[in-house]
């Protein structure tokens, strides 16, 4: 069993503001629910997930979840990784924690279970999913605007789940903040890992194994990349067009 932290503290002051005036992105309504509710409900139904901590606007969210496994705590008002630490403090004794962003309302229990199953095959401190572009394209009729990376094995987009060992978080924070800030820009990420790596990346000669090894060395931990075939893991809501796609997909599924 693993515990989970849902990060729901991002203020709604970006492109999604034109879709809803709510103060936090996690609270943006999709149908009859707030965006974060879809994520938490999927976690609650997923096999292998135990305690769930939601880090965000406590007053607005505390009455949204009735399950005793779910606890809502106030976000710090700081950066993303500050909120990660805030959530981890609520899970003493946890050996593995699943970090989940609140902006992936298409996530399903099966997609979560598949990711956890893939992680069990390898021993690591940090597990990160990537999704092949063809898996995203085959799931959605219209092209999904995602940031893709071309590696030797193919074209991939990053997921919005992490499985980690809480004990390694503190020593990863300095570089981790830079990697998180650059996560939407493949070139910025490559600049962090060196010019030689950047050149090989631009020539599409970097393999998954090489990328995994380089980031592991930088962070000083054992990191593993797992390939998920579930595009719901990687389709997040950043822009109005994303919100429209998600709303349409959820409506069709209901």
Confidence of residue 46 (pLDDT cuts 50, 70, 90): very high
Distance CA 173, CA 162 (A): 15
Mean pLDDT of 1-27: 95
Question: Is the pLDDT score of 97 beyond 90?
Answer: yes
Distance CA 229, CA 233 (A): 9
Mean pLDDT of 198-218: 74
When mean pLDDT is compared across 33-47, 181-195, 230-244, the lowest value belongs to 181-195
Taken in order of first residue, the domains within the chain and their CATH numbers are 2-253 (3.90.550.10)
Query: What's the pLDDT at 152?
Result: 86
Give DSSP secondary structure letters for 76-108: -SS-HHHHHHHHHHTSTT-SSEEEEETT-TT--
Q: How many CB atoms lie within 10 A of CB 13?
A: 10
Of residues 78 and 106, more confidence is placed in 106
Of residues 195 and 187, more confidence is placed in 187
What is the maximal distance between C-alpha atoms in the chain? Answer: 51
Alpha-carbon dihedral sign for residues 77, 83, 86, 91: positive
> pLDDT digit string (tens) for 57-89?
999 998 889 888 999 999 877 677 788 889 999
- Six-digit token pair at 42? 């999927």
Query: What's the pLDDT at 105?
Result: 96
Query: What's the pLDDT at 173?
Result: 63
Question: Is the pLDDT score of 119 beyond 90?
Answer: yes
> pLDDT digit string (tens) for 15-28?
999 999 999 999 99
The torsion region of residue 224 among left (phi > 0), alpha (psi -120 to 50) and beta comes to beta
**Phi, psi of 54, deg, nearest 5:** -105, 120
The pTM of the full predicted model, rounded to 2 decimals, is: 0.88
CA 43 vs CA 71, 103, 212: distances in Å: 13, 14, 27
Q: Which residues, including other chains, have CB under 8 Å from residue 248's CB and lie 6 or more apart?
A: none
């Amino acid at each position: 069993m693993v515990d989970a932290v849902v990060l729901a503290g991002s203020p709604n002051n970006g492109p999604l503001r034109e879709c809803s005036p709510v103060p936090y992105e996690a609270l943006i309504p999709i149908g009859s629910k707030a965006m974060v509710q879809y994520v938490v409900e999927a976690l609650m139904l997923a096999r292998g997930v135990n305690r769930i901590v939601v880090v965000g606007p406590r007053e607005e969210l505390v009455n949204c979840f009735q399950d005793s496994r779910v606890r809502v705590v106030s976000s710090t008002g700081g950066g993303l990784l500050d909120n990660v630490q805030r959530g981890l403090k609520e899970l003493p004794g946890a050996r593995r924690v699943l970090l989940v962003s609140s902006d992936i309302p298409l996530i399903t229990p099966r997609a979560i279970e598949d990711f956890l199953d893939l992680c069990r095959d390898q021993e690591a401190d940090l597990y990160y999913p990537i999704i092949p572009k063809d898996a995203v394209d085959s799931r959605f009729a219209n092209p999904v605007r995602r940031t893709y990376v071309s590696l030797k094995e193919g074209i991939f987009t990053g997921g919005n789940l992490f499985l980690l060992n809480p004990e390694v978080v503190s020593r990863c924070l300095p570089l981790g903040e830079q990697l998180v800030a650059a996560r939407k820009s493949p070139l910025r990420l490559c600049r962090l890992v060196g010019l030689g790596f950047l050149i090989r990346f631009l020539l599409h000669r970097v393999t998954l194994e090489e990328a995994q090894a380089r980031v592991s060395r930088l962070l000083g931990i054992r990191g593993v990349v797992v390939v998920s075939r579930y595009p719901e893991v990687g389709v997040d809501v950043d822009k109005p067009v994303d919100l429209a796609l998600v709303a349409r997909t959820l409506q069709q599924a209901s």
